[in-house]
Amino acid sequence: MPGLTEAQDTIVTEHGFRFVHHVRKGGVKAQPGDDVSVSVTTYIGDTLMATTWDMGGPRQINLFKKDELPEKVPAIYDGLLYMSEGDSATVLEAISDDVRPYIPAELQSQKDIRYHFKLWDIITAEEIAKKQAEMDKKFADVEKKMVKMTADYRDGKLKKKIDTKESGLKMIVENKGKGKQVGSGQQVKVHYYGCLPDGSMFDNSFQRGEKLEFRTAADEMIAGFDEGVQWLSHGAKAILIIPAKLAYGEEGTPDGVIPANSEIIFYVEVE
């Protein structure tokens, strides 16, 4: 891709980078604190150095709040603040003395790193805060449920609800879901909350706000979790009570969080 020409209208950004708009949709511009989805292609001269398309496509990044800016502000950060969803642009960053030693010999005559980028999506700081509040509430609800559930399990109050499989896996299906049953070798997404029988949580996906994705029957998960999910349908919610032999066995986890010979319990929601 050719570089910029002197005839193009160039803006000098707040931190001294040269910026040129190519496509301008005219919507609401990105603001500090927003999350944005952006694809970037990086050139020195006409030589392609890197592109996010080689990493699977657009990347989601957070735009620093003004009081959190690093000492060296990224050129793309400045450029994105001029852009709205659907815009594309170029920003040029002078090659600094600390970067130049890493530039290939044949490109040493070049003065700039050139970033061509497109802004695909903006998630505002308000939307991020709302999502975080929803995540916090969901986690609190699940945690409260599991504290009670493990107490009832220890007291023997759940015996009539438990379905024990031939493998020794115990299950309580709370919601059967309306989708098809999860199949062997299928890619699936699951929200989960894992704890010991005493109720102490060791891991969960709710606080991260991102479901666990894995392929069933591919040795990607402990045996009891893998089996339990395959007994469920898409949309199901269930409790998996996994014996040690289907979990972390006689050794437990290396960090000691799950002791040797420990039964473990998961609440799962299958997408």
Of 19, 206, 266, 267, which one is the catalytic site residue? 266
Q: Is 46 a catalytic residue?
A: no
Of 82, 248, 265, 267, which one is the catalytic site residue? 248
Q: Is 64 a catalytic residue?
A: no
Of 61, 103, 128, 222, which one is the catalytic site residue? 222
Residues 6+ apart with CB under 8 A from 154: 197, 198
Q: Is 206 a catalytic residue?
A: no
Q: Amino acid identity of 238?
A: A
Of 11, 35, 123, 203, which one is the catalytic site residue? 203
Question: Quick one: 223 exposed, middle or buried, by C-beta within 10 A (0-12, 13-18, 19+)?
Answer: middle
Q: Amino acid identity of 74?
A: P
Of 11, 64, 202, 214, which one is the catalytic site residue? 202
Q: Is 43 a catalytic residue?
A: no
Of 139, 153, 192, 193, which one is the catalytic site residue? 192
* Residue numbers annotated as active site: 192, 202-203, 222, 248, 266
